[in-house]
Structure 1
Amino acid sequence: MALEARAFESIHPSRYICFTIPNPSCSDSLLRVAVLDSHIQPADESSQVGALLVPEGREADWIFSTESGHSQLLYSSQGICRLILVGNQLKEGDCASHIYCRPSECSLHQQGFEVWSKPLLLALSPRSLFKNGIPEIPLLNYEDDLISSVVIHQCVGCLVGEMLVEDVEIEIESENGVHHSSSLKREFRRRLRFKRMPNLIQTEIHIVPETDHSCDGVSIGDLKFMLDHRILVHPYLAPMVASLSLIAENIARRIQSGFKPKALCLGVGGGALLTFLTTQLGFEVTGVESDGEVLKVAKHYFGLEADESIQVVVGDGIEFMKKTACHKKMHTFASSEHDNNGFDHLLDAKISHDFDVVMVDLDSSDIRNGTSSPPLEFVRRDVLLAAKSLLSENGILVINVIPLSKSFYDTLVNHLQQVFCELHKIDVRNGENFVLIAAVSPQIFPVGGHCKSSFFMQLKSVIPESWINSISKI
């Protein structure tokens, strides 16, 4: 169906339109053009338009080929009310599973984009931009650390929808932190991503090639990898684990008494956190994941092994926590009746045990607003009280927080302070994540103190000490 000439004259909140045009750089190919308007009506008439050329070779990536990916790009572009994506049209048979390698230099269509795209971008701009003459349409740059990638598995979960597992080669800063090419190093990782929020990496672990890959002509698709669970590469996981320093002495005493420390993890994903807690710190871990297909992926591709140290259950994390708290309370007075929610076998196994830590890594993904963590319902007082009831006398609640707004963050902090005795935080320093640590009692290892317990020393050996030192009391 042909587009009307007036179709783009005004902003229509959340409107998403895709169409193709001839490629001016290559006469026998087409370009895909996608236009998305912000879900919020701009407050004034001078609404800003931005344009982005899709990186060549990544046209099939969900980040650039789906409305949800486009929405996240728009959300992260401050002040932009309409974002226009332009990229090569996928040919029949192309899919997201192809091997991508970053081009060594800009292609011809990238070099000339600023010139040939101007008439197109002006035609796709609202009339309000022309009130003071012909506007300048900013061309946005998309840059990330990806060098090469290959999708090794795709599947569909009943709740999370389409997902993929990919092996990637990325470029990261070396420890000296200097910004020049000689300070960058290459590293391989395995990632889990969901189509509903493709710009968000759900799980990321370090992987190592089984054989030498230095020979020329070797593609990432030809390599076989070994999983490396010794380090946490996801930005906020090491800070979450660093929170255990606050109760290091109590954990050390439990270990000395012959008991393993216990953790409840709400949100499993690929299981990187669960595996690290068990293999590197000797925890017994219970994990709750909403989608059973995600757990299958975690076991087959990320090395999550359910055994005597790790128990996993499929279910809603918040509901599991509330039911467990209720079950525990009822068990104090009388045996509760079994229901059919699928949790009973695990509740009975755990009912006599308090957790040293409850770690929450749950997100509420709305493509119109971006990612927030934890879900809004987690802020409720009854949920926080349930979490507190599952903790030992010296236990802590640790939450990965991605606040959508300052008011959301302030509300969460306020509710935590009403329910718990002490509250600490760690700024992950990536512009998104904070880690909040709520303590049941004040009898915890003081920030900046000098703990010499065996567990504390072990903790310092497996995560950067800088995260421990960055804990501050609220």
Structure 2
Amino acid sequence: MMATQIQPFSEIDPSKFEDINPAQFITFTLQNTLTNRRHLHFPLIRVAVLDSPTASYEGDLPVIAAIVVPRNRETDWTFCTESGHKQLLFKLGTVSRLILIGNIPPAQGPSIYKRRTIDPVKQELLENELIPLLLPLHPKSSPISDDGSPKTLFLMDDDDVAYRVTVSKFLGPVVGEFLVEDIELVGYDDRNKQLRRRLRFKRMPQVVQSQALLLPIIGYDEATTQTDLESLRKIEDATFEPDTEILVHHYLIPMVSGLSVAASNINMLVSPRALCLGVGGGVLLTFLDTHFAFEVTGLEADPVVLDVATKYFGFNKTGSMRLVIGDAIEMIQNFPPYKSSAYRHEFADTTNYPPAKFDIIFVDLDSSDARLGFCSPPREFVKKPVIEGLRSLLDDCGVVIINVFHLDEELYGTLVKELKENFHKVYKVNVENEDYFVVVATVSEAPPDEVENIFLKKLKAAIPETYMDSIVEL
């Protein structure tokens, strides 16, 4: 939200802040009366207030939290959009009202962000100066500090980015605005900098949709000992390419580990047929094609996302993958028949059409939700006709692997129930994260290996065995 769209605080009805009003979102400007303007240096300060959609504090006092927007991140979608604000709030869990305070976002934000070292003493001085400005934003039932003023819990949103470059922004007909960015992770020494290429959507700015290892390509005459992204970008003619040989995205590794449940069946197949619901940057599909020679079909709702995956993530360079454009929920239940014109493919010959049945289905779908903010799979996926349609797409020895994130207990119970009714066995891959895990369902019992399991050896060579060892039956 730019400065011209933000009304001054004097035009806001103060009664709007007296109580927690679920999902209420208000932005405005305040006169900057701070003494020290090293961080908040504009004459006006942008303030955004969001009340939790699930706030309930009868008998309990509401928790009021505030975050000072990091310098030069004012145009980051996390801090300047309602969707980003919601994700911050949901991540904090028990906060009833979240207040963001920052400089007014410029019309055109910087394409480069470099993490600043925070001086704890100066940060505390800033927070103490902000307290009087925030007093009118507290509900009447706010807890009281020792000095008699409403209590504000100051927090920080620390991500893993030390340096970020926005490569390009896009607008898709389905996903809306999204971007490709190159980043350097925090916490690594000078000789071992970790570089990544990421895909992020504006509607869920804190969720990394796709991530790949980033390799700098430098000529022999430009040899350097520098490994940080800022220095590498200054080298003339240096380019950067994604490396999809290794999975670095935290949720893709446990998804692939779910294949171990059906390793015996997969080992008997000459060329296993895999369907991926949700393509994103195409990192998973490329990995399956490269390491296991799967026949891969990808289903993606937004054609612009596919184009970006091809250009910026090295997706489908050979044109060997089969791609379908459409809504996954609808197409699961009404998958196009063999040789349908609904398929997008590179070649005119019929050999490029997807098979009638699949051996493996990966479900990597997410959705914004008014109450949850975002979840995976989307609520509309967790329904009997969809699960039945999913089962009908699998061969008799098939397996489905579902990415599960921020799914409420009731919806998760429904998902497991429907899978158990339609599949032989259901498993869970533990990820040591209470908000995220992977669910695996098999159509039939995996037979004992009668020959050497070459596929399982390839699987263990490609990813760590930790997640395979964590798989439990539900």
**Common fold: TM-score over 0.5:** yes
Give the corresponding residue for 1:200.
Answer: 207
Q: Please give the per-residue CA displacement for 1:442-463, whole angstroms capped at 9, x wherever unaligned.
A: 12569xxx99411111111111
1:102 aligns with 2:115: yes
Equivalent position amino acid for 1:141 in 2 = M
Aligned residues of 2:216 and 2:239 also touching (Cα < 8 A): yes
Instruction: Return the alpha-carbon distance in structure 2 between the equivalents of residues 29 and 107 of structure 1.
Output: 24
Q: Tell me, yes or no, if structure 1 residue 214 matches structure 2 residue 221.
A: no
Secondary structure of the structure 1 residue equivalent to 2:268: helix
Report matched runs for 1:181-330 at 5 Å: 186-211=193-218, 212=224, 214=226, 218-219=230-231, 221-222=233-234, 224-255=239-270, 260-305=271-316, 307=318, 309-324=320-335, 327=337
Aligned partner of residue 466 in structure 2, secondary structure: helix
Instruction: Please identify, of 341-350 and 427-436, the stretch whose mean Cα deviation from structure 2 is larger.
Output: 341-350
Aligned to 2:221: none
Counterparts in 2 of 1:123 and 1:307: CA distance versus 1, 3 Å: same
Deviation at 1:18, TM superposition (A): 1.6
Alignment partner of 1:20 is 2:29? yes
Name the amino acid aligned to 2:467: W
Relative to structure 1, the CA distance from residue 216 to residue 460 in structure 2 (aligned partners, 3 Å threshold; closer, same or farther) is closer
Note the 1:452-467 alignment, pairs <5 A.
Answer: 452-467=452-467
Query: Are the counterparts in 2 of residues 403 and 409 from structure 1 also a CA contact under 8 Å?
Result: no
Q: Letter of the 1:464 partner, please give it.
A: P
Aligned equivalents of 1:194, 1:113: Cα separation in 2: 32
Cα distance, 1:307–1:271 mapped onto 2, change above 3 Å: same
1:15 is displaced (CA, Å) by 1.9
User: What do residues 214-242 of structure 1 show as CA deviations (whole Å, max 9, x unaligned)?
Assistant: 17994465463121111111111111111
Correspondence for 2:3: none
Q: 1:438 corresponds to which residue?
A: 441
Question: What is the RMSD of the two structures over their aligned residues, measured on CA atoms?
Answer: 3.0
1:106 Cα offset (Å): 3.1
Rounded to whole Å, the distance in 2 between the matches of 1:237 and 1:116 is 44
Q: Which deviates more, 25-34 or 200-209?
A: 25-34
* Structure 1 position 370 matched with structure 2 position 373: yes
Provide, for residues 285-318 of structure 1, a one-character-per-residue CA deviation record: whole Å limited to 9, x for no partner.
Answer: 0000001111111111111116453111210112
Q: C-alpha offsets along residues 59-81 of structure 1, whole Å, 9 cap, x if unaligned?
A: 11100111110011111222211
CA offset at residue 11 of structure 1? 2.1
User: What SS is found at the alignment partner of 1:230?
Assistant: coil
What residue number does 1:177 align with?
A: none
Amino acid across the alignment from 2:26? I
**In the alignment, structure 1 residue 421 sits paired with structure 2 residue 434:** no
CA distance in 2, matches of 1:117, 1:197: 29
1:122 and 2:129 matched: no
Question: What residue number does 1:469 align with?
Answer: 469
- How far the C-alpha of 1:372 sits from its partner, in A, is 1.2
Q: Which residue of 1 aligns with 2:4?
A: none
1:48 equivalent in alignment to 2:63: yes
How far apart, CA to CA, are the structure 1 residues paired with 2:299 and 2:211? 18
After TM superposition, give the deviation of residue 433 of structure 1 in Å.
1.6
2:322/2:352 contact within 8 Å kept: no
Which residue of 43, 53, 56 maps to 1:39?
53
1: CA distance, partners of 2:42 / 2:170: 34
TM-score normalised by length of structure 2: 0.86
Distance (Å, rounded) in 2 between the aligned partners of 1:286 and 1:81: 43
CA distance in 1, matches of 2:89, 2:390: 36
Q: 1:10-69 CA deviation, whole Å, 9 max, x = no partner?
A: 222222222223441236643211111122353427222111111222111100111110
Matched residues in 1 for 2:88 and 2:57: separation? 21
Distance 1:219 1:105, change over 3 A: farther
Gaps in structure 2 of 5+ consecutive residues? 1-6, 219-223
Deviations 1:403-453 (A, max 9, x none): 43111111111110011011111012233221111101012569xxx9941
